[in-house]
Structure 1
Amino acid sequence: MRASLGRRALAEAAGSAALVAVVVGSGIQATELSRDVGVQLLANSLATVFGLGVLIVLLGPVSAAHFNPVVTLAAWFTGRRAGDGFTTRDLAAYVPAQIAGAIAGAVLADAMFGKPPVRWSTHDRSAGHLLLGEIVATAGLVLLIFGLARVGRTHMAPVAVASYIGAAYWFTSSTAFANPAVTIGRAFTDTFAGIAPASVAPFMAAQAAGAGLGLALVAVVFGRPAPAQPDTSPVHSEPDLAAPTLP
């Protein structure tokens, strides 16, 4: 049997919490072990790559492992057009779960390292070149995820998505948040991975623009998807990692 919407939303919350705990916690650990910013970023990015890959493998069969409102919105939009069954009800359950989980993950990471559980970040990230970095990072992520779905290689998502985020840490000026829920969660910690609350809305706007660009690139590169065909195969337990077809 496929997972119920409640179980899928719980998986999204847990995955988002774990992801932000990895990002924030590894950032704290890195700054405590080294004063070299390059070493700190390397440690932070490696931990994120490994953590994200594990979370996609573990929770992908339950919720499709979005952990990201941008991915969920894109899946809803493309699924709505293709008629593959990812509904507005799914969208309404996933996005709040992802945001709540991300906030909880930041609070947990701070608590594990003896920091105040909630302290607003003072790390300003409002510069224009950083927003451009977020557009690029998010567009690439959406292109990758939905491109894999188009060519039938969603089984490669754990490695491909984690690897892309690891690379984007380094080749984008913003260090590739590429995720509105993670952006909100990281505003709750005044540590290496934090983002000032005033920078959250511009980052989210850049991510939305990047998502739109990414979907446009998918259409241009891969063409229009084939019309949905009636599914006569037996029900299986693993949803598509990129474009869920869950009821």
Structure 2
Amino acid sequence: MADLSRRLAAEALGTAMLVATVVGSGIMADRLSDDVAVSLLGNTIPTGAILFVLITILGPISGAHFNPVVTMVFALRKELERLAVLPYMLVQIFGGIAGTLVAHAMFDLPVFQVAETVRSGASQWTAEMVATFGLLLTILGGLRFRTEAIPMLVGLYITAAYWFTASTSFANPAVAIARSLTDTFAGIRPIDLTGFILAQIAGALVAAAAAGWLFAENRNEIPPIVPEGTERP
């Protein structure tokens, strides 16, 4: 495990690159097409792809959380030391904000913006709870059964969740905060953040509880009955 400073740098850099991809690809897609479905597809594919890359290259350093609710769940599972929890969350938030500002600069937009896109209501909150539940279940299931496949699993899950959730699957408080500072295709009004973040926390906690039961090792298996006279292998 890398020292804390390198881990925090990885979390900040990873979250910044993730958000820059989400916001930047949203701007590019919106400029290239007037069709909202095509723009969403142009936003979806880069996001899934960058997650695969970032988790692959930064996961060995920090665990590649890039998401405060992922950090929260790992802390609850005692898989992250308590002193690292708040620093992880803070660098994720500030890294995400930096990613938004960089995306604006790349596309020659005003660097500082406030989103006006309305994302509120029970359907949006339900979608965020479902999206975050699925993300955490994917991560925890991957850790239990196929650790080496986690980059692909997370990238594919988010690619799918962009399309099957009404909210387009933010599933990440740091990303939601960062996206409240862009008045572009990817934006969300700051006033709508509370509902999204509460739904994300709820989804993550439910996923942690479900995974704790569903993916538990069966330590009390009844040994198989061996016919008399047959040797055990």
Q: Which runs of 5+ in 2 are unaligned?
A: 220-233
CA deviations over 1:48-102 (Å, ceiling 9, x no partner): 01111111111111111110001011001012xxxx5x21111122100000000
Q: Which runs of 5+ in 1 are unaligned?
A: 227-247
SS of residue in 2 equivalent to 1:167: helix
Match of 1:214 in 2: 207
- 1:106 counterpart (100, 118, 139): 100
Structure 1 runs (4+) greater than 6 angstroms displaced:
none
Determine whether 1:8 maps to 2:2: no
Match of 1:232 in 2: none
SS of residue in 2 equivalent to 1:212: helix
Match of 1:130 in 2: 124
SS of residue in 2 equivalent to 1:99: helix
Using CA pairs under 8 Å that are at least 6 residues apart, name the structure with larger relative contact order, 1 or 2.
1
Following superposition, the deviation at residue 225 of structure 1 comes to 8.7
Aligned AA (1:70): V
C-alpha separation between the residues in 2 aligned to 1:16 and 1:147?
22
SS of residue in 2 equivalent to 1:35: coil
TM-score relative to the length of structure 2: 0.91
Match of 1:64 in 2: 63
Match of 1:174 in 2: 167
SS of residue in 1 equivalent to 2:77: helix
SS of residue in 2 equivalent to 1:91: helix
SS of residue in 2 equivalent to 1:173: coil
CA deviations over 1:14-69 (Å, ceiling 9, x no partner): 00000000000000000100000000000100010111111111111111111000
Following superposition, the deviation at residue 11 of structure 1 comes to 0.5
- 1:161 counterpart (154, 160, 163): 154
Aligned residues: 219
* Range with bigger deviation, 201-210 or 211-220: 211-220
Match of 2:225 in 1: none
C-alpha separation between the residues in 1 aligned to 2:173 and 2:194?
9
C-alpha separation between the residues in 1 aligned to 2:217 and 2:169?
28
Following superposition, the deviation at residue 220 of structure 1 comes to 2.8
SS of residue in 1 equivalent to 2:87: helix
Match of 1:230 in 2: none
Contact kept, 8 Å, 2:144 with 2:215, in 1: the verdict is yes
Contact kept, 8 Å, 2:143 with 2:150, in 1: the verdict is no
Aligned AA (1:209): A
Match of 2:224 in 1: none
Match of 2:178 in 1: 185
C-alpha separation between the residues in 1 aligned to 2:137 and 2:52?
18
Contact kept, 8 Å, 1:169 with 1:175, in 2: the verdict is yes
C-alpha separation between the residues in 2 aligned to 1:176 and 1:225?
33
* Range with bigger deviation, 168-177 or 215-224: 215-224
What RMSD in Å do the two structures reach over aligned CA positions? 1.2
* Range with bigger deviation, 15-24 or 47-56: 47-56
Determine whether 1:115 maps to 2:109: yes
Following superposition, the deviation at residue 218 of structure 1 comes to 0.4
C-alpha separation between the residues in 2 aligned to 1:154 and 1:92?
25
Residue 114 to residue 215, structure 1, CA distance change in 2 (3 Å): same
